[in-house]
Amino acid sequence: MWGHLSEKQYHVFKLKNVHIYCDAQSVEVSGHAISLTRLEYRFLVYMVENKNRAISREELLNEIWQIEQPIETRATDDTVKRLHKKLRAAHAQIEIETIRGFGFIIKKNRA
């Protein structure tokens, strides 16, 4: 039974120099941990899981905040602003790009 422990697959998202460790719910940029709130972490994971498509604000409100009816809120924009700041400060090679009037998409920096 203990022998199988080393075979366990840990779910890790790797995108450029950003590593998201799902089992530990932690994020590292270039090997250094960055501090994210639970909401910021969930938002980042969802964006990375869907990195090849633009995601609407409505979808994010539904998936992250569990708000199903359309409402006017700045929750997504405020979360992105905080996340931008933390990723930039850590020199992450990804960023969350705003698609005006729609939502967001993950963008890989060239660095």
Of residues 9 and 99, which shows the higher confidence score? Answer: 99
Q: Where are the domains of the chain?
A: 2-108
Of residues 41 and 67, which shows the higher confidence score? Answer: 41
Write down the pTM of the prediction. Answer: 0.84
CATH 3.40.50.880 fits 2-108, yes or no: no
Q: What is the pLDDT of residue 10?
A: 65
Which tokens sit at 10? Answer: 């840990």
Amino acid residing at 31: G
Which tokens sit at 63? Answer: 């998936």
What average pLDDT does this structure show over 23-44?
Answer: 95
Residue 40 — very low, low, confident or very high, per pLDDT cuts 50/70/90?
very high
Instruction: Say if residue 76 is exposed, middle or buried (CB neighbours under 10 Å; 0-12, 13-18, 19+).
Output: buried
Any residues with CB less than 8 A from the CB of 87 and at least 6 apart, and which? 18, 29, 34, 94, 95, 96
